[in-house]
Amino acid sequence: MLWSRAFIPTLREDPADAEAVNHRLLVRGGFIRRLMAGSWSMLPLGMRVAKKIQDVIREEIDAIGGQEMLLPVVHPGEIWKKTGRWDDVEGILVKLKDRRDTDLLLAMTHEEIFTTVATELTSYRQLPQLWYHLQTKFRDEPRPKGGLLRVREFTMKDSYSFDIDPAGLDVQFQNHYRAYHRIFARLGMDAIAVHASSGWMGGKESVEFMVEAAAGEDEIAFCPACRYAANTEKATSVPAGVVDEPWTGPPERFPTPGIRTIAELTAVGGFASADRQIKTLVYLVGGTVTLLLLRGDHELMEQKVVDGLGTWEVRPARDDEITAALGAHAGSLGAVGVKGLRIVADPALRGRVNMVTGANDDDWHLRGVDVDRDVAVDTWLDIRLVRAGEGCPTCGKPLEVKRTIEVGHIFKLGTKFSEALGASVLDPDGEQRVIWMGSYGIGVGRNLATVVESSHDAKGIIWPMAIAPFEVVVTAVKVDDAASMGVAGEIHAALVASGVDTLFDDRDERPGVKFADAELIGIPYRVTVGPKGLADGVVEVVRRRDGAVERIAPAAVVAHLERLVKAERELGK
């Protein structure tokens, strides 16, 4: 490929609206261009990288028995209504109607549609099956941002397994677990597998694969000692214990005029430290007013409420709803003596005594509260956000909290979709058995972006060999020097003939511009051919990741680069 004929629109300046590194470098490097918020055009360099990522994914999923298909992007709403997700993921689904007034949607995922194909399976002898495709998805993200990290339209590999029983699902889940680790290693990323919430996907178990990055929107709790890892939506921990001061008798009211927060109550008058207060949050859960109780110094993790109580209808109550239920405003609320409302309490409150909480009377609180005696808890549920430094639930050592990007997610769906859509087979005894399913996703663009986030420097992108847009760039320093152009052209042709993906920078530009562009777009090796080097009988080979320079005879450079490229291609396999 000649650079002079390629469309590589590099920019000298960062885009004004760029926040994430991948946004800045992929736009500057001429890989992508934004059409509108959350919608990006893949230019030739971007497509070269995306196709190589897809090749890695295909190789690893094929290796565990995957069969590639291609299912439609436009789905009939009727199928999603059968599984309940037409309404469950309202606000994210892109819905429309055709000329016949039929409900349709643009695919955000394909569980329903692959299950319709699985209804053609009739016998246990046809199982297990593993099907996948690489297809466009649409999600109406309210706040698309971060370049390719949070978008509305993207390409995803989603695969689906079908088995006769949970044991078969376990096998396919573990096969994907190992395949995903191989995929991310080949893409040059150190992915951490973490326990995760299954969210609107359903199922009983899921694992996310996370890469540490400042641009990440997810946080994980991680134990360096025993390698426990979980998304904070799912993570548990052992908080520091608190010694309660003794109290005898019933709770006692005391005035707290103007005090509305845990911090104010702690600071004014020394009534109680935050860890000796009860935080009372009023939520509507499934349409029912519910009190959520936490230790005063703890924060709510709302996803744990969703998962633990089994409904996506979870929101904070409005002020009028709060006063109608409890007769007081936020800041003076509590659960002592409350009847007729559901009370959910975090286990960190179990057994606590001499606690302070709101009295459900504005500007009044209660002290001397014995949680087990005075609060009629309906459900004990871990609803607390884990914090750094708390004890690991496995080994007790301090946890770290890391900001990460999710690069893959695998789910044990169970029978949620197969039951709803009638996918079953005859077992060895001639009985109908509902098929057990798994779902496994990897976003191509998000992985591309995450590689950039985790592998770059001040000069630009540093691509791993497996997915670099080109593996080598041959740079002619002076295009008006016939000898230089002749040698550079011969090296380029020989590398291409040997199977090395090579770009020939034959542009009539200053050497500094050429070098800066090659570093910006992240080509792993640059061969520099110029009159001075040829006069000394050498060309320069520069390694992008660390700037290491070798001076090699032109006749030996092709074989040398073949060895280097081949060795780096094999990393992670």
Cα 188 from Cα 450, distance rounded (Å)? 10
In tens, the pLDDT along 2-22 reads 999 999 999 999 998 888 999
Cα 177 from Cα 167, distance rounded (Å)? 15
Residue 68, CA distances (Å) to 124, 181, 258 in order: 21, 20, 64
pLDDT of the residue at 320: 95
Confidence of residue 356 (pLDDT cuts 50, 70, 90): very high
In tens, the pLDDT along 90-136 reads 778 999 999 999 999 999 999 999 999 999 999 999 999 999 999 99
Cα 220 from Cα 418, distance rounded (Å)? 32
In tens, the pLDDT along 520-559 reads 999 999 999 999 999 999 999 999 999 999 999 999 999 9
pLDDT of the residue at 199: 62
In tens, the pLDDT along 461-480 reads 999 999 999 999 999 999 99
Delimiting residues of CATH 3.40.50.800 domain(s) in the chain: 470-569
Q: What is the pTM of this model?
A: 0.90
Residue 541, CA distances (Å) to 76, 470, 570 in order: 56, 15, 20
Residue 524, CA distances (Å) to 48, 399, 469, 521 in order: 15, 37, 9, 9
Whether residue 182 contacts residue 209, with contact meaning beta carbons closer than 8 Å, is answered with no
Q: Domain 470-569 is classified in which CATH homologous superfamily?
A: Anticodon-binding domain (3.40.50.800)
- Helix (H), strand (E) at residue 379: strand 379-380
Confidence of residue 196 (pLDDT cuts 50, 70, 90): confident
Range with the poorest average pLDDT among 22-26, 35-39, 244-248, 503-507: 244-248
Which of 367, 346, 348, 345 has the alpha carbon at shortest distance from 358?
A: 367
Residue 123 is classified by DSSP as B
pLDDT of the residue at 571: 77
- Order of strands across the sheet with 364-369? 252-255, 364-369, 355-358
Q: Is 105 exposed, middle or buried (0-12, 13-18, 19+ CB in 10 A)?
A: buried
Delimiting residues of CATH 3.30.930.10 domain(s) in the chain: 15-212+401-453
Say yes or no: domain 15-212+401-453 is CATH 3.40.640.10. Answer: no
pLDDT above 80 (res 573): no
In tens, the pLDDT along 372-425 reads 999 999 999 999 999 999 999 999 999 999 999 999 999 999 999 999 999 999
Cα 467 from Cα 24, distance rounded (Å)? 19
pLDDT of the residue at 269: 65
* Pairing outcome for strands 525-529 and 472-476: parallel
- Looking at CATH, the fold of the domain delimited by 252-380 is given as YbaK protein (3.90.960)
Determine if the peptide bond prior to 76 is cis (ω within 30°): no
Two tokens, residue 149: 């990290």
